[in-house]
Structure 1
């Protein structure tokens, strides 16, 4: 069985495009996970994407996760609420001045509490200054991401509010796939 999926690609072409969200208070922090950890990244990936059908990385081996996370200019930024992981953003550069927000989202129990706008603001700002942390990489000229009709209902609105502009739309068929979460009874 297949489902129709619309994928939207959005971009910023200047740091001035970023419109930060209002702060969410002292209980929420966003911290870079500076040591690449396949275990932690896989946890974040499945916890955030489990109810919105993220499956593209589930079959990756440990070595493939290490390779993906260990590339120069790849960073994971994690939102915490009172010490508990609430969501994350993964950044990756093409090495030529374009940074993609490859993955972005919140664990279901943390959605709808303004954490997503704050996390996206921080992640986008860190995409713009990525070269400051990675000697040898050129300055960022473009930040982009994609979202699709399988993602949460507020994803597109959050991206637009942060200053991302639509540059491409694609519609296609994908196999309907089961995902590992959330657990029955989990928020979502």
Structure 2
């Protein structure tokens, strides 16, 4: 059983955000999926996470998935490249003991978009949107902390991208874990 390292990172001020060196190229945009369906959310999750062993949401029923993506303070921002989805970031606000935290619950690119210089710009936009989440959700407290976790099963550029955007490590933990195959049912094996 492999040893998995999980790294938790945070920003405590929007001033800590370091912009990406590369801007989105022409033909790319990031927009909020304002009325996201569980089906579209699951499509994004599986398209990004199948290579990285994302399985935590796969057992959810449609109703449970819908509850997760429609919870107040939850937003999904989708990267489109040449008109097609190419990645996403899912935010969940109203966290922490005083409701002032936003978690980047999921973040990543579709396999064909990795290495094209899009991850920094997508993460930058996700962090900007996290810091002003309370402005779009009346009743949420102003954001005082944005956080995310990644692990050694995630994409090799993930941790570096988080650090490059100004997120700082606040905890690491190691555990023996049997990674689940998140690609089952996504594409037939040949």
TM, length-normalised to structure 2: 0.93
Matched, 1:18 2:17: yes
Question: What is residue 8 of structure 1 aligned with on the other side?
Answer: 7
Question: What is residue 50 of structure 1 aligned with on the other side?
Answer: 50
Aligned length: 184
Runs of at least 5 residues in structure 2 that lack an aligned partner in the other structure: none
Question: What is residue 37 of structure 1 aligned with on the other side?
Answer: 37
CA distance in 1, matches of 2:182, 2:134: 35
Moved over 3 A (4+): 181-185
Offset of 1:38 from its aligned partner?
0.2
Offset of 1:184 from its aligned partner?
7.1
* Bigger shift: residues 91-100 or 120-129: 91-100
CA distance in 1, matches of 2:168, 2:55: 26
Runs of at least 5 residues in structure 1 that lack an aligned partner in the other structure: none
Offset of 1:174 from its aligned partner?
1.5
Q: Give me the CA root mean square deviation.
A: 1.4
Question: What is residue 118 of structure 1 aligned with on the other side?
Answer: 121
Question: What is residue 145 of structure 2 aligned with on the other side?
Answer: 142
Matched, 1:101 2:100: no
CA distance in 1, matches of 2:17, 2:179: 35
